Structure 1
Amino acid sequence: MYRELAHLLLYSDLGEGAILTRLAGIFRDWEHGADRDELVGRIYAQIKRLLDLSTDCGFDENLWQCYLTWVLMNNQNSFTKTCERTGAGQGSVNHFAKGDLAVFRRLFDFDFGPIEQDLGIDCFSTICSYQALPKRERTYNRDISLQVLELRHRLADADAEEMFSLVTDYYRRYGYGVFAANRAFRVRREAGEAIFLPISNVDRVTLDDLLGYELQKRELRRNTEAFLAGKTANNVLLYGDAGTGKSTSVKALINEYYDCGLRMIELYKHQFRDLSAVLAEIKNRNYRFIIFIDDLSFEENEVEYKFLKAVIEGGVETRPDNVLVYATSNRRHLIRETWNDRTDMEHHGDIHRSDTMEEKLSLASRFGVAIHYSVPKQREYQEMVKVLAARQGIHMNEAELLAQANTWEVRHGGFSGRTAQQFIYYLNSLPKE
């Protein structure tokens, strides 16, 4: 195995800690007569790592080939970068890429028999013919699982030339690395760089699941589709009362437009200082990114809004064409105003407080599209309850259902889609007669 890896060129940077690199080292030491018990322990450590990865990513059947497929999907090199942007083309780099894929072709069919027989183990045979336990969807990354399993099946029956076509088609369609097989991300700052952490249990809600608000959803779709088509599009502020579906509307976009290259990065207010680092990492990728800021508002003494304001519009570094900011807020102007803000002269602080207020309020104006989500009327709330009850298979007399829904609304925060959904959850939790 280590001899095969020595022939890799473009894909050679696997990392010292990679499972494949560690296994290659084990095979090298086995051929040089290393201690057998030590070798078995080292092999089991890598098999455990492979099983853990398989659980997180939903691998099945041939875990070894799934792992190799996952390596091909995630490796970052000059070839994968080019394929993501423009496809394979006719460049000389293809010669080296085909050589590397010939190595992976041989690794796909690697014969583990000799080492298993010599060491008296069967772990490689087991992972190459594996039956995974059924898992709930939220316990693994379904997007990665589907992509790996589909591509693995096709690569398993392909020769080296066919593997080249399959892999380059994948890069052109999905790209490579963490953005290829994940929809949404959080961010962590490490050593001045933005590290993107995939959100594996993304809510699979769609805009059609959100009842009502047809005009709001239509405007959100229009702006997002223009953005995906490379047309001019605006940053979006969704504002209004709590529980009306603002956040749900934004989250639904990544489920509807993921296959069109849309990705979402969720940022919190304390991370606005990291916006420049985030933009530096994503500006040259062949995706469209929505930076999602949920429940955005600022108190009087907070200054983080200045970082966001500069990025949206007005800073020295322009916002990349493949990035938009979508934010939700209960406040139309994002900033809590006080009577002091409205007094032009103050003995302390800024001499002209009205200028300070205008600076704060100008942030909201930098969202080119502002969409209002209002509290539903009682009839709209009752219609939501009836539709949600039908979807959940709840069969009650309509008058009784609505009477209970009205009682629930009085005790739980007023008319809203959230209140209606919570009422249905409550009905589902009751013992069945």
Structure 2
Amino acid sequence: MHHLTSKLMIYRNIDKNSILFRLSDIYRQFEAESYVKDDLIRDIYIEINRLLDISTHYGFDNNLWHNYLAFVLAMTENPFTRVSEKVGANNGTVNKFAKGDFSIFKQLFDFDFSKLENELAIDCFTVITNYKAVVKGEQIFNKSVSEKVQELSQAIEQSEDDIELYQVITGFYKTYGVGKLGLNKAFRISTDDKSGFLCPITMTSDMLLDDLVGYESQKKELIKNTEAFVEGYRANNVLLYGDAGTGKSASIKAILNQYYSQGLRMIEVYKHEFKELPKVIAAIKNRNYRFIIYMDDLSFEEFEIEYKYLKAVLEGGLEPKPENVLIYATSNRRHLIRETWSDRSDMSEDEMHRSDTIEEKLSLAERFGVTIGYYKPNREEYFNIVTNLARRHPEIKLSDEELRSEAGKWEMRHGGMSGRTAQQFIDSLLGPV
């Protein structure tokens, strides 16, 4: 194994503490017969345990060794993989090195561990190459990455020659991208050094815009702007404002699901993290994806100055916001800042200063080129949402009249008419009797 990994060219930047290189070093000791048996077995079990941890996290199954190698290929970022995610197979000279590395990975796929197992009297490699994972709920592992990696693993297994192998791997990069930005949908800023600055959000809803009943004109405007963005045309920052529970956040999450396959990604940033916005943009500006920076429930109180960081990004500052980044925000306030708000540095009654403060307040909201209002439904719209949601569940047997009656009672006890209240009412009907 060591004689294979030592020949890698493009993929030499794989972490030397990775399972692949650690096992390679173990195999080098084994072949050189420069080891203490018990110590070598202990080191092998440490790497197998690490492999099982990754497999559990991503829900890998069957041949965990193959899944792991495919995972390494999918997650390794280097100049070649980043070019491949843009153009797929290409004709550069670097392809000679790439094909050589892919051939090495194929040999690693087919590596025979039997000699090692026989001499050390262990069977852990046989176990991990014929593994039956316990079926878990999708919340336990990152299903999105799991399915893609296992698809790549199976395609490599079935490839018949180096040409097909090259097409399979570069095709994967072009279809799904590379690394965590390529394979995941959504991210948040991380304080965990192990996760890197941007940490994948592995649990995302599968809601689409058609699942959101009503608000047709609002959805149409959101779609128009987002489609322009993912297709590489000029597009605007978007502010969705209006009443609570009307589907503002749900619409943005649905947009992510709808356009993820076209390269859309989302980064959720909270108000207390706004000072990190330049760092977020620096991390994503040169990648082959379109990023929406998502700010939920955005508003500013009198004592908060975080709006200044947002304003600097919206206005461009010295460095213009990259063309592959937009900001989508939701707020219950049309102008983001309460009407009673006043700048802490402006406690004077001087009229000119007051005018400047008001202007700064208004200019923040105006930086969102598209503003879309979401309002509480009237009674008929509310009942229409309830009825549409109920008819998606055949187990709900209530007639339209019964639904109207019960939904009316529900909203009076649970915060008034809204899409959220309607969904909560339906959830109550689907719960245990």
**Where does residue 37 of structure 1 map in the other structure?**
38
AA paired with 2:13?
D
Out of 249, 252, 255, the residue aligned to residue 250 of structure 1 is 252
Once the two structures are aligned, what percentage of the paired residues are identical?
53
> Secondary structure of 1:264's partner?
strand
Say if 2:194 is the partner of 1:185.
Answer: no
> Secondary structure of 2:425's partner?
helix
**Where does residue 414 of structure 1 map in the other structure?**
416
In structure 2, do the counterparts of structure 1 residues 346 and 7 end up closer, same or farther at CA, with 3 Å as the change threshold? closer
- The alpha carbon displacement at 1:161 in A equals 2.5
Q: Which residues in structure 2 correspond to 1:304-323 (within 5 Å)?
A: 304-323=306-325
- Mapped to 1, the partners of 2:69 and 2:347 lie a distance apart of 67
- The alpha carbon displacement at 1:188 in A equals 2.3
* Contact 1:194–1:274 (Cα < 8 Å) also in 2: no
Q: What is the CA deviation profile of residues 209-263 of structure 1, one whole-angstrom value per residue up to 9, with x for unaligned ones? A: 1010000000000000011111111000000000000000000011111110100
**Where does residue 353 of structure 1 map in the other structure?**
354
In structure 2, do the counterparts of structure 1 residues 281 and 340 end up closer, same or farther at CA, with 3 Å as the change threshold? closer
**Where does residue 20 of structure 1 map in the other structure?**
20
**Where does residue 97 of structure 2 map in the other structure?**
96
* Greater alpha carbon shift after TM alignment, 226-235 vs 156-165: 156-165
Q: What is the CA deviation profile of residues 250-291 of structure 1, one whole-angstrom value per residue up to 9, with x for unaligned ones? A: 000111111101001110111111111111111111111111
* Contact 1:58–1:144 (Cα < 8 Å) also in 2: no
**Where does residue 371 of structure 1 map in the other structure?**
372
- The alpha carbon displacement at 1:194 in A equals 6.7
Out of 271, 286, 289, the residue aligned to residue 288 of structure 2 is 286
- Mapped to 1, the partners of 2:287 and 2:125 lie a distance apart of 37
Q: Which residues in structure 2 correspond to 1:417-428 (within 5 Å)?
A: 417-428=419-430
In structure 2, do the counterparts of structure 1 residues 166 and 429 end up closer, same or farther at CA, with 3 Å as the change threshold? same
Q: What is the CA deviation profile of residues 323-370 of structure 1, one whole-angstrom value per residue up to 9, with x for unaligned ones? A: 1100000000000121868xxx95479972231122122100000000
**Where does residue 391 of structure 1 map in the other structure?**
392
Q: Which residues in structure 2 correspond to 1:291-302 (within 5 Å)?
A: 291-302=293-304
- The alpha carbon displacement at 1:56 in A equals 1.5
AA paired with 1:102?
S
Say if 2:47 is the partner of 1:57.
Answer: no
> Secondary structure of 2:267's partner?
strand
> Secondary structure of 2:190's partner?
strand
In structure 2, do the counterparts of structure 1 residues 314 and 67 end up closer, same or farther at CA, with 3 Å as the change threshold? closer
- Mapped to 2, the partners of 1:304 and 1:324 lie a distance apart of 18
Out of 156, 160, 165, the residue aligned to residue 163 of structure 1 is 165
* Contact 1:61–1:132 (Cα < 8 Å) also in 2: yes
AA paired with 1:283?
K
**Where does residue 214 of structure 2 map in the other structure?**
212
Structure 2 residues without counterparts, runs of 5 or longer: none
Equivalent pairs, count: 427
Q: Which residues in structure 2 correspond to 1:198-277 (within 5 Å)?
A: 198-277=200-279
AA paired with 1:356?
T
**Where does residue 381 of structure 2 map in the other structure?**
380
AA paired with 2:389?
L
Cα-Cα RMSD:
1.9
In structure 2, do the counterparts of structure 1 residues 350 and 280 end up closer, same or farther at CA, with 3 Å as the change threshold? farther
* Contact 1:297–1:331 (Cα < 8 Å) also in 2: yes
AA paired with 1:16?
K
Q: Please give the TM-score of this superposition, normalised by the length of structure 2.
A: 0.94
In structure 2, do the counterparts of structure 1 residues 85 and 398 end up closer, same or farther at CA, with 3 Å as the change threshold? closer
Q: Which residues in structure 2 correspond to 1:117-136 (within 5 Å)?
A: 117-136=118-137
> Secondary structure of 1:352's partner?
helix
Q: What is the CA deviation profile of residues 376-407 of structure 1, one whole-angstrom value per residue up to 9, with x for unaligned ones? A: 01111112112222222211243333222111
Q: Please give the TM-score of this superposition, normalised by the length of structure 1.
A: 0.94
AA paired with 2:265?
R
AA paired with 2:215?
Y
- Mapped to 2, the partners of 1:52 and 1:64 lie a distance apart of 13
- Mapped to 2, the partners of 1:268 and 1:36 lie a distance apart of 52
In structure 2, do the counterparts of structure 1 residues 348 and 61 end up closer, same or farther at CA, with 3 Å as the change threshold? same
Say if 2:176 is the partner of 1:174.
Answer: yes
- The alpha carbon displacement at 1:173 in A equals 2.3
Structure 1 residues without counterparts, runs of 5 or longer: none
